[in-house]
Amino acid sequence: MAMPLEGVRVLAVEQFGAGPWATLQLADLGAEIIKIEDPGAAGDIGRYVPPFQEGEDSLFFETFNRGKKSVALDLRHPQGRAVFHDLVRASDAVFSNLRGDGPAKLGLTYDALRQVNPRIVCVSLTGFGMTGPRAKEAGYDYIIQAMAGWMSLTGDPDGPPTKSGLSLVDLSGGYVAAIALLAGLHRAQRDGEGCDADVSLFETALAELMYVGTWAATHGHATPRRANSAHPSIVPFQAFATADGHITIAAAKQHFWTRLCGAIGRADLLDDPRFATFASRDEHRDELLAALDAVFAARPSDEWVSLLVDAGVPVGRVNEVAEALEDPQTIARDAVVEIEHPNLGTVREIATPLRLSGELPEPTRAPFLGEHTEELLQELCGYSEERTAELRGAGAFGERRVAVPDPPAA
């Protein structure tokens, strides 16, 4: 059985996190992802992110770029653009994550490439989109979390607005862009015509406000921050301190609430009209949580997890990252893979969560800067060694830069 995306070829003018995360999902399903990197800009800035970085390689870069290929090319050079067009003729999609005005400037839009390949799908992932008053602004995950209202929803009620511990806007934007690319490919195969896909981190973050956004847009409701990462309206649905740590409990259905009360020896709570329904538990959350806090503080986390799992109550320990990677479920599902790297040694990273039946690519290291230039130009464009040398001499592949560049906009 062929790999799910075997035969799909994507040219990726990508950097840092959000863009490489998008194409990583495709690479993990068998697509051929060719990173277009300009050595004059030192390539993808992700190569230089500390703390685990050596030369042009880093564990950050490995995380986002396993299984890809790299071509050195200067898209601002006339002959560099000509080489790029030859690659476009042999590809299915062009992906970029630049500022909103970047794709048009570099000729990465469908209008710029339709004469080269009328079936090409051009996906742009930017901070704010390719139109609107903020199109030319740089957009980083942290800034988008602030602007889209996420930070107003996160953190302790008495503390400052807080960002997520992970770059969730970047990751979400990557997933949305990957979906857009696959949708564009389906349409191109069906109709014989490519398209543009204009995806922004800002709109992705707005969409992920979900029901909180609907509440605000419809009724002007301001969802408050809750202590202990509590759900805005369902109680109990939050973290609780135990004798030796924290656990999370999610009584998201009435029967979970019933089971919880029985498991913790507080069946009396079921007879209290203040706690009879979702709405009444929300109205009287302070009284209810005071009672539950006292119960859970009396025993260690593992005891509570074992007891509540047996009772059929959704529960989990609050783990450190290293603990999560050693969880029995992690091990049973082979969710951590090992990849050998000539400079970084044995790299242990998280496997793809995209599990389809049949064969998936064996995880391989990320490419060195420009590693596949000659190979791919010969294979896809029919270039001879002499032609490649001529282009190199003319500057089409850029001049290798050793200094570390400034971090890019998303």
| pLDDT tens per residue, range 75-134 | 999 999 999 999 999 999 999 999 999 999 999 999 999 999 999 999 999 999 999 999
The total number of residues written for the chain in this structure: 410
Spell out the domains of the chain, with CATH numbers in brackets: 9-208+343-394 (3.40.50.10540), 227-318 (3.30.1540.10)
pLDDT reported for residue 143: 96
- SS3 assignment, position 348: strand
Query: How far is the C-alpha of 314 from the C-alpha of 301, rounded, in Å?
Result: 14
| pLDDT tens per residue, range 132-158 | 999 999 999 999 999 999 999 999 999
CB-based contact 124:197 (threshold 8 Å)? yes
Q: Give mean pLDDT, residues 180-205.
A: 97
* Bridge partners (DSSP) listed for residue 348: 338
CB-CB neighbours of 341 under 10 Å? 16
Contacts of 340 (CB under 8 A, 6+ apart): 346, 347, 365
pTM above 0.85, yes or no: yes
Torsions phi, psi for 122 (to 5 deg): -110, 110
Find the catalytic residue in 74, 170, 196, 198: 170
CB-based contact 99:137 (threshold 8 Å)? yes
Q: Give mean pLDDT, residues 232-249.
A: 97
Q: Say whether 170 is catalytic.
A: yes
Query: How far is the C-alpha of 380 from the C-alpha of 370, rounded, in Å?
Result: 15
Is the pLDDT at 403 greater than 80, yes or no? no
Q: Pick from 223, 253, 214: which is nearest to 235 by CA? A: 253
pLDDT reported for residue 81: 96
Is the pLDDT at 48 greater than 70, yes or no? yes
Confidence grade of residue 400 (pLDDT, cut at 50, 70, 90)? confident
Q: Give mean pLDDT, residues 253-270.
A: 96
